[in-house]
Amino acid sequence: MASITSVGIGSGLDVNSIVTQLVDLEKKPLKTLESKATSVQAQLSAFGQVQSQFAALTDVATRISDASTWTARTATSSNTSAATIAVTSSASANSFTLDVDRLASKQSLSSSTVATGSLPGAGTLSIQLGTWDAAGTAFTAGGASAVNVAITNTDTLASIASKINAANSGVTASVFNDGTNERLLMQSKNTGAAAGFRVQSGDAALAGFVFDPENKAGQGMASTGNPVQFGQNAAARINGLAVTSATNTLADNFTGVTLELQATTTTNYGLGTETKAPITMVISEDVKPAVKNVSDFVDAFNKLNQTLRDLTKYDATTKVAGLFQGDSMVIGIQNVLRNMVGSTSKGATSQRLADIGLDRQLDGSLTINTAKLSVAANDGTSLQQLFTADNGNTMTNGFALKFSTLGQGVAATGGSLYNKAASLQNLLDKNSQDQTKLNARVASFEARLRKQYSDLDVQMAKLNALNTYVGQQVTLWNKSSN
């Protein structure tokens, strides 16, 4: 007897249809679970947006509550071609005049001309840093020792310059070619009177490169016709008070103020017929960062407020409720934020956000009255206090402190934002587990049904075969009896 290879053949029943319908009935709770999972996932995603926007508002509030945020300064120079000014937050609002009498310069020398490619001869050049007196005839050596540069018979002016540069003596050298002859040029690396230098040598071959007016006046690089410039300090007057600097940067006269001298403003300085053209420098509070901070605060608050409104509202027209419509925790956060915006801060002339032009609207959002905020920004101290005053009381502290404290609290482990997100995730995890269990139960149910119907097919096939055999025997008996 042939075996049954397809369920339903033996019994004649549409087993696949019967099993499918029974399994679908068993699966019905799965659709409810899937629908619930979709809803919880939507809530979890939406709440992630709430968390992100709450964090953004907290970040802005924390930034505003930092005192350094309110110490921005700006500075201007009435003549940037002569001097520029840069300030840090430690600079005080101030104004002063500046006369640039003299710029700092480097000492520079030139040798007499020699034929191009000449080999001056062997010897040693001794370079000593120090200070020349005003007349350029007396030299005071600096603290560093003299640097000796060994010159050989095969050295040209170019190789002598290279050796001087490699010696790290505080002096640089180069070769100037006028088309026919060459000169050795030497210059101090730094500006200022103390960066001057003296060049000595006991070797006749190098006499042309000596510069020592104190001991060898009119010789070597000090010879008539060779240009000489002595190093000098910058000289200026701030509000008429004399200041000097080895460089063209004045950085120690006022805290947080750096002046870069570019050109002199005084003519005939030190000649008794000088003419001054002072520059005016102005340092003032920079209100732009403060206004930007307040604007950022309003933007962050309004984004969070709008999201909370959308998630908790009921649209009567579409009859669609927000994902958190009626959720006590979300509505509670919404109410706390709105109450906080309408609260007061003690310690400043302005005590409410409305006093500086941040007006609360019916939908809970804030708008900025630019004119009022501009007036408040020009009184930077009061505006700062409105946001940063620390009274030791969360109800009357500055608004930046209030929102920063609130944000850090609700987002912390155990806080309302953290707990709500954890609760939604737990629901989603439990739903996933329930779906897995239900799918396993349905799969087992389907397997059991198919086995039962398979067994039924086998039995029905046997019965049908027996029935056929009995029928055949009866037929044979009837023929025999005839």
pLDDT 10s per residue in the chain (482 long)? Answer: 344 445 444 455 666 777 778 767 777 787 877 778 777 787 888 888 888 898 999 999 999 988 778 888 999 999 999 999 999 988 988 999 999 999 999 999 999 999 999 999 999 999 999 999 999 999 999 999 999 999 999 999 999 999 999 999 999 999 999 999 999 999 999 999 999 999 999 999 999 999 999 999 999 999 999 999 999 999 999 999 999 999 999 998 999 999 999 999 999 998 889 999 999 999 998 888 888 999 999 999 999 999 999 988 888 888 888 888 888 888 888 999 999 999 999 877 889 999 999 999 999 999 999 999 988 888 778 888 899 888 888 888 989 999 998 888 887 777 777 787 777 788 878 877 877 887 788 788 777 877 777 767 667 766 666 677 777 777 788 777 66
Rg (CA), the chain: 47
At residue 189, the pLDDT reads: 98
Domains of the chain: 1-71+286-482 (1.20.1330), 73-104+233-285 (no CATH), 108-222 (no CATH)
CA distance 171 to 156: 18
Burial class (CB in 10 A: 0-12, 13-18, 19+), 61: buried
Pairing type for strands 241-245 and 234-238 reads: antiparallel
To the nearest 5 percent, what fractions of the chain are helix, strand and coil? 45, 20, 35
Helix (H) or strand (E) segment spanning residue 451: helix 416-481
Q: Looking at residue 105, what DSSP letter applies?
A: B
At residue 22, the pLDDT reads: 75
CA distance 194 to 242: 19
